[in-house]
Amino acid sequence: MNLNPIGRVLIVGGGTAGWMCAAAFARALQGQCHVQLVESDEIGAIGVGEASIPNLIEFNRALGIDEDEFLRETGGSFKLGIEFVNWGAIGERYLHGFGALGAGSAGLPFHQFWLRGAQSGLAGPLGDYAINTVAPAQARFLRARHDMSGSPLADLAHAFHFDASLYARYLRRYAETRGVTRTEGKVEQVLRRAEDGHIEAVLLAGGVRMDADFFIDCSGMRALLMAGALGVGFEDWSHWLPCDRALALPSKASTPLLPMTRSTAHSAGWQWRIPLQHRTGNGHVYASAFMDDEEAERLLRLHLDSEARGDARPIRFRTGRLQRFWEGNCVAVGLSSGFLEPLESTSIHLIHMAVARILDFFPRAGFEAADVAEYNALTTREYERIRDFLVLHYKLTRREDSPFWRYCRHMAIPDGLRQKIELFTAHGRVIRHSDELFAEPSWIQVMVGQGLMPRSHHPFADQLPETELAAYLENVRQVIARCVQTMPLHADFIAQHCSRGVE
């Protein structure tokens, strides 16, 4: 077994995935090996991922990036959650907020008391009991006040909206100042070693050869190295997630500046709205089997709340994942590893986790089989659990107004998701696996938000007398409402701390 250290890493492809890899490797490896990135200006990035979940804070912090600087450089704004419109039924809306849900008591999570209150007419909407759902509806924002333990203000959890292309550019500057070298060029051929099938080098147009010990495939949906050269197969999930196209269309910035993403369901998919400082990101994700491109664009433009900027950009995709994420001396990161639609803003999280996992399993030149197998098992499990959370949104619709929604409502679903729904339906229980991305509050908010109410609640919630239950629920609601009133408007917070300035 070759125990020599890795001397050269080559990242094939730029964009958000490539430059997140480059920046993290530069920071972690600190010159121990040579990191190169090759990309072609002729190949455009997908770049629709303009929203994150809170985990991106950890990635930026690990790089030593100042949060306010990051937001100024990317035209970013804050995000406290995602509002879903027309998903359960037309005319309904709910917020999936980050962070805590209410305040638990007597060893039980808050939602068990809320369920009892809702079943007896003592509780208001679930969204009234979480600061991350009350604040964005009022366009208010504040970073968590960790000095106020016990207050809902300490429970605030935030993520970001930002321009993905500006973020990639920012990370490129970060990486290049730390020794990463970039080569402009288009890969025309991938050379493999005869003895073990590992990648030896890539040849660029014009004959430039780039050798490396370790290759990172950030070539997007083409998966140039993993699927193309190494022949790794693809596991198709389009029977569970049937949307296969998107149209992206920016529009002018609009007010108020809401600290939340909005997802509005249409007749064969859904439309995103992502508010940045300098513009609003919009897009329509839809299923081509149920809607043609012209109708998809008509609906997108019809539901813009500000003037469009430019033409709609079409994107085609297939939901699913590679059968293996690490093969030989190559790892896929980003869209080259698979595609899960941006319904819950998980694309950049998956890049972050891939980068962190590569660093955890960073190889020697021998590439131990046990390391590769464990990396693939962990990543597979992560993709499948995120997939199930996305499928949940479609499955729980009560809509019967179009063939698309009838298909989603009645489709078969993965066994693990079916078991999760059945468990919640019984007594409102949600069991989270230790490394699962979405915590119990996320599952609860989506299930309740789309009309799935359990038959009962945990029996221990009955130990609280009804008058005390009513007072407890009302106290939680009022405390959160008062805390939100102390928070500044989102636009004012940005103006004070991280404004991009006038363009």
Q: Which CATH superfamily does the domain covering 82-156+245-316+389-503 fall into?
A: FAD/NAD(P)-binding domain (3.50.50.60)
Please state the rounded mean pLDDT for residues 326-346: 97
Question: Are the CB atoms for 27 and 63 separated by under 8 Å?
Answer: yes
CA angle (223, 217, 213) in 5-degree steps: 135
Alpha-carbon dihedral sign for residues 438, 240, 416, 422 = positive
Kindly report, residue by residue over 211-261, the tens digit of the pLDDT. 999 999 999 999 999 999 999 999 999 999 999 999 999 999 999 999 999
Residues 403, 23: Cα–Cα separation, whole Å: 45
Q: 353-364: per-residue pLDDT in tens?
A: 999 999 999 999
Confidence of residue 2 (pLDDT cuts 50, 70, 90): confident
**Residue 355, pLDDT score:** 98
Instruction: Write out pLDDT tens, residues 87-107.
Output: 999 999 999 999 999 988 888
CA distance 109 to 375: 33
Asked if omega into 454 is within 30° of 0 (cis), the reply is no
For the whole model, what pTM was predicted? 0.96
Instruction: Say if residue 430's pLDDT is above 80.
Output: yes
Superfamily name and number for 8-50+163-237+319-367: FAD/NAD(P)-binding domain (3.50.50.60)
The answer to whether 79 is a known catalytic residue is yes
What φ, ψ does residue 426 adopt, rounded to 5°?
A: -70, -65
- Average pLDDT over the chain reads 96
| pLDDT for the residue numbered 322 | 98
CA dist., res. 269 & res. 287, Å (int)? 6
Query: What's the token pair of residue 183?
Result: 């080569």
Q: What is the pLDDT of residue 1?
A: 64
Q: Enumerate the domain spans of the chain.
A: 8-50+163-237+319-367, 82-156+245-316+389-503
Q: How far apart are CA 416 and CA 268, in angstroms?
A: 25
Average pLDDT over residues 115-143: 97
How many helices, marked H, and strands, marked E, lie in the chain? 14, 22
Q: Quote the percentage of the chain above a pLDDT of 70.
A: 98
Question: pLDDT-derived band of residue 435, with 50, 70 and 90 as boundaries?
Answer: confident
Give the confidence band of 31 by pLDDT, cuts at 50, 70, 90. confident
Which listed residue (79, 186, 395, 420) is catalytic? Answer: 79
Confidence of residue 433 (pLDDT cuts 50, 70, 90): confident
The residue with tokens 């609640």 is: 457
Domains 8-50+163-237+319-367 and 82-156+245-316+389-503 share a fold: yes
pLDDT value, residue 325 = 98
Give the model's confidence band at 502: pLDDT under 50 very low, under 70 low, under 90 confident, else very high: low
CB 388 within 8 A of CB 416: yes
